[in-house]
Structures are given as structure tokens and as C-alpha cells.
Amino acid sequence: MWKGRFQQSTDKLLSEFSESISFDWRLYSHDIEGSIAHSKALLAAGIVTASEQKAIETGLRQIGADIDAGKFQFDPALEDVHMNIEAELTRRIGPAGAKLHTARSRNDQVALDLRLYLRAETDAIGAHVRGLQRSLVDLASRNSEVVIPGYTHLQRAQPVLLAHHLLAYVEMLDRDAARLADLRKRIDVMPLGSGAIAGSTIVLDRALIARELGFAALSQNSIDAVSDRDFACEILFAVAMIGLHLSRLGEEIVIWASSEFGLVIIPDAFATGSSLMPQKKNPDAAELTRGKTGRLYGNLVALLTTLKGLPLAYNRDMQEDKEPVFDSVDTIKAALAVNAAMVSQLEINASRAAISVGDPMLLATDLADYLVRAGVPFRQAHEIIGKLVAQCIETGRGFSQLDLAAFQSFSPLFGQDVFEVLDLRRALEARQAPGAPSPANVRAQLERWRKELAAEG
């Protein structure tokens, strides 16, 4: 394509080193879509005739159909998806195909293709996020009465409804969905017409192209348009955050499925056994999700590092944007899909949860609150209950095993109603502030999420 300037052919080593068709072929449908829109702008500008534009569009659609059917042979010697399609188009329809590249560069062409690809994939990832949210809400709804110990520092802290715990992940994923929706606005900017760096003296109707491709806005600076990969970094960050949330969920599933906790039973279809130990049932889906998050972080850092020292405008280094983007998109869609399927089939061990939540120390803070309501400053109440806890541990007794005199030996403000505080259900029902895990609050949140996710379709 640059034979007019060069007197030597590209060295085979450089050709192999610089080709991108081995991975950017997957942009073919977006490249074809963008080229058809570009051909219509060329027609409007009088660069091609109506019959030539029709031949271009028909030829491109036929090439797309051949690629879909696996009948198209990509040629590494032509470097990338753009030249492979353009060369084949010219071979099929003749000189009209050679006119297609008028007033555009591979620089704005690849920027367009990547935006079209990521616009579609952002929507697809968002749909997968909603799917996992639905699975979590369904699991929470099926186990709405189950109470578990809430943990801090992986130590038992206070009692919470399992549904409240699961809805915490629904909230995380909702922020992920919001991030995807927000960054999509910055993807949805049409760069074609920016040329290599400075546009073209052949002025095309860029608004026409944007309408054809469904873009909401036009890029306003040709240099920025071809050198901008912020949108790719943004989606890699958003995907890394989803990976973070999935990894935390995966870690908890691994812990909960252990014999020591025994709170969940993972379906056989989402676990594996051991090649040596017949009794083993390993939570591979959760563990792999946790492990793949490292790849998502690595892809983000790789692209940020590639871009950090580049002068304006386009540099060949930017070819390195696609593999991390493709890998992260594929990885997160697979992770979301497998987790949604696994969560939908998780079985909660309610009897084990009941044993765990029977730990009387879970209500220590409630006893401190009892004293606060009686007029004791919280720090003093905290100390009193701390001493009570220490004695219970030393004597091997729980709060419910103490009589009123034992309580009053720590504070005369304890009355007979202190035993009401030790009722687990009453303790949960007392947590009525917005966002707290009272049964009424949790029921309302479950209903809210069911309605919102149903509206999302």
C-alpha cells in the first residue's frame, strides 16, 4: 500500500513482527459496517457514483458473509483486517474498490472500528452484569429467612440476614453497570473523517456517517480523535472493577463451601474433583474467577503503560491496544456468565447457618446499645460489655446462660428486659435505619431489585 515511496519490500521478520490480522480480524463486521457508511459519504460528495457505491456495499456484505461462514482466508502479508477486506473488495469489484479509502486513513478507521466494537461489547457486558444480579436476588429471595453471622476481619461480628449480605454484591454490580453506561457515552463518539492526523481536503459529511452508524456525537479534534484510547482504558478499568467484585464473591463462596464453614453447597456442575483424593469437591469456578481477575488488572496496566509516553498523534505502539481489550472483554463475559449460572444453583445450608448464628457473642453490641439507652456513654458501655464478654469466655458461658444478678454485677442498669435483647429476631428487627438489615428493610430491597431488574429486561 506504500509501494510508491519505498524501493524495498518489507522484511519478512518485520512483517511477522508487525502483523495484527491474527487478532484484529475479529473487528471485521465493524470494519465492514464503517466502510459501508463511508461509501455513502463518498457518494454524497461525488467521489463515487451510485453504481460504484452499490458495488462497494454489495461486495463488502458478501465478504462479511464469507467471513461469517468461515470461507474467507486472511492474508498476514496484508497486515491487518482493514487491508485484507479492502484488497479483497478491489479484487472482486475492480477500481471502485480502490476508491473506498479516499479521505480516510487506517488511523481513523481503526479508531472507528474499536469504538463500534466496544460500544456493542459494553452493552453485552452490561447485560451479563444484570444477569448475575438477577441470580443473586433470586438466591436471596429463596433464602430470605436465613440468618448468618456477619464478619469483619473474617471474625464473627453481628447477625445479618443472608439476603442482606447477597444484596451487597447486587449493589456493587449496580455501580459496575452505571460505570459501563457512563463510559459508553465517551465511546459513542464518531472519529471517522479525521484522517491520519489532519482530516482531508476532500470534505465528507461526517454527520451523515455518524447517523448511519448510530453515533451520538462527532469528534471535534482530528489529532485527538486518532490518538485517543481513553475509552479503551476506561472499559478496561470498569472490567477490572467487575473482576474485583466477582473475585470477592468467589472468595466468599470458596470460604462458605469449606467444611469449616459449610454454609453453601456448590452444584456438582460447577465444581471439580481431585485426580488423587476421591472425596474432594473443589470450587473451581469461584477460584478461577478469583484468579482471572489478575489478568484483568494486568491488561489495564499494560495499556496504560503503552500509552503513557506517546507523543501525538497516532503511533504504531497503539496497535497493542487490541489484545488486552479483546482478552478482558472475553474474560469478563465468561466470568459473569459462569457465576450467574453457579449462583442460581447454589444451595444454602440453613441448619449450618442456624448453628453459626447461635454464637451469643454476636449480640454483644446490642447489649452495649441497651446500656446506652439507659444513659451510659457508649465508650463506658463498650468497656462494661467487654468485661462481661471476657468473663463469659473464661467461664464458658453465653449471655443467655447468665441470670439477672450476673448482668447487674457489671451494671445496676441492667433490668429484666435485658433478656429481650438476646432474642435474635428482635435484634434484627431493631435494625430499622435505611440500609440496615431488618427483615422489613430486606424484603423491601428485594422487591425493589426484582422490579428494577425486571424493567431492565
Position 118 scores a pLDDT of 98
Residue 441 lies in a domain: no
Q: Are residues 53 and 79 in the same domain?
A: yes
Whose CA is closest to 319, among 83, 26, 20, 3? Answer: 20
Residue 205 lies in a domain: no
Q: For the beta carbon of residue 73, count every other beta carbon within 10 angstroms.
A: 9
Contacts of 153 (CB under 8 A, 6+ apart): none
Position 191 scores a pLDDT of 98
- Cell 477490572, residue? 240
Residue 291: phi, psi to the nearest 5? -70, -40
Determine contact, residues 235/183, Cβ cutoff 8 Å.
yes
Residue 187 lies in a domain: yes
Q: Are residues 373 and 329 in the same domain?
A: no
Q: Are residues 66 and 154 in the same domain?
A: no
Whose CA is closest to 82, among 127, 38, 52? Answer: 38
Position 457 scores a pLDDT of 74
Q: Where a domain ends, among 44, 69, 102? A: 102
Query: Among the options 18, 22, 258, 274, which is catalytic?
Result: 274
Instruction: Kindly state the DSSP code that residue 48 receives in the 8-state scheme.
Output: S
Q: Are residues 266 and 285 in the same domain?
A: yes
Whose CA is closest to 169, among 282, 336, 328? Answer: 336
Residue 265 bridge partners (DSSP)? 347
Determine contact, residues 319/266, Cβ cutoff 8 Å.
no
Amino acid at 217: A
Residue 3 lies in a domain: no
Q: Are residues 250 and 369 in the same domain?
A: no
Q: The domain spanning residue 50 has which CATH number?
A: 1.10.275.10
How many distinct structural domains can be found in the chain? Answer: 3
Instruction: Kindly state the DSSP code that residue 183 receives in the 8-state scheme.
Output: H
C-alpha 98: how far from its chain's center?
41
Residue 32 lies in a domain: yes
Q: How far apart are CA 219 and CA 235, in angstroms?
A: 19
Residue 436 lies in a domain: no
Residue length of the chain: 457
Residue 297 lies in a domain: yes
Determine contact, residues 439/429, Cβ cutoff 8 Å.
yes
- Cell 440476614, residue? 161
Contacts of 201 (CB under 8 A, 6+ apart): none
Three-state secondary structure call for residue 282 = strand
Q: Are residues 113 and 244 in the same domain?
A: yes
Position 287 scores a pLDDT of 97
Strand locations in 293-399 (E):
347-348
Q: Which residue range is the domain that position 181 belongs to? A: 107-196+222-355
Q: How far apart are CA 445 and CA 264, in angstroms?
A: 23
Q: The domain spanning residue 186 has which CATH number?
A: 1.20.200.10
Position 5 scores a pLDDT of 67
Three-state secondary structure call for residue 138 = helix
- Within 94-229, residue ranges assigned H as helices are 95-98, 106-142, 162-187, 206-213, 222-227
Q: How far apart are CA 6 and CA 240, in angstroms?
A: 43
Determine contact, residues 157/150, Cβ cutoff 8 Å.
yes
Q: How far apart are CA 193 and CA 317, in angstroms?
A: 22
C-alpha distance from residue 1 to each of 6, 78, 79, 98, 455 (Å):
10, 9, 11, 11, 51
Q: Are residues 247 and 122 in the same domain?
A: yes
- Annotated catalytic, 20? no
Q: Where a domain ends, among 36, 67, 102? A: 102
Q: How far apart are CA 83 and CA 203, in angstroms?
A: 23
Task: Output the tens digit of pLDDT for each of the chain's 457 residues.
Answer: 555 667 677 777 777 787 899 999 999 999 999 999 999 999 999 999 999 999 999 999 999 999 999 999 999 999 999 999 999 999 999 999 999 999 999 999 999 999 999 999 999 999 999 999 999 999 999 999 999 999 999 999 999 999 999 999 999 999 999 999 999 999 999 999 999 999 999 999 999 999 999 999 999 999 999 999 999 999 999 999 999 999 999 999 999 999 999 999 999 999 999 899 999 999 999 999 999 999 999 999 999 999 999 999 999 999 999 999 999 999 999 999 999 999 999 999 999 999 999 998 999 999 999 999 999 999 999 999 999 999 999 999 999 999 999 999 999 999 999 999 999 999 999 999 999 999 999 999 999 999 999 998 7
Position 10 scores a pLDDT of 76
Q: Are residues 82 and 185 in the same domain?
A: no
Q: Where a domain ends, among 86, 102, 118? A: 102
- Annotated catalytic, 274? yes
Amino acid at 283: P
Residue 249 lies in a domain: yes
Contacts of 384 (CB under 8 A, 6+ apart): 368, 371, 376, 410, 411
Q: Are residues 20 and 76 in the same domain?
A: yes
Q: Are residues 334 and 189 in the same domain?
A: yes
Q: Are residues 111 and 80 in the same domain?
A: no
Whose CA is closest to 361, among 154, 137, 157, 102? Answer: 157
Q: The domain spanning residue 389 has which CATH number?
A: 1.10.40.30
Q: What angle do CA 304, 319, 242 make, to 5 degrees?
A: 45
Query: Among the options 153, 259, 275, 351, which is catalytic?
Result: 153
Position 390 scores a pLDDT of 96
Q: How far apart are CA 22 and CA 44, in angstroms?
A: 35
Q: Are residues 135 and 39 in the same domain?
A: no
Determine contact, residues 222/199, Cβ cutoff 8 Å.
yes
Q: Which helix (H) or strand (E) holds 152?
A: strand 147-152
Q: How far apart are CA 301 and CA 324, in angstroms?
A: 10
- Cell 457505491, residue? 53
Position 114 scores a pLDDT of 98
Strand locations in 153-296 (E):
155-161, 189-190, 217-218, 264-265
Q: What angle do CA 435, 367, 434 make, to 5 degrees?
A: 10
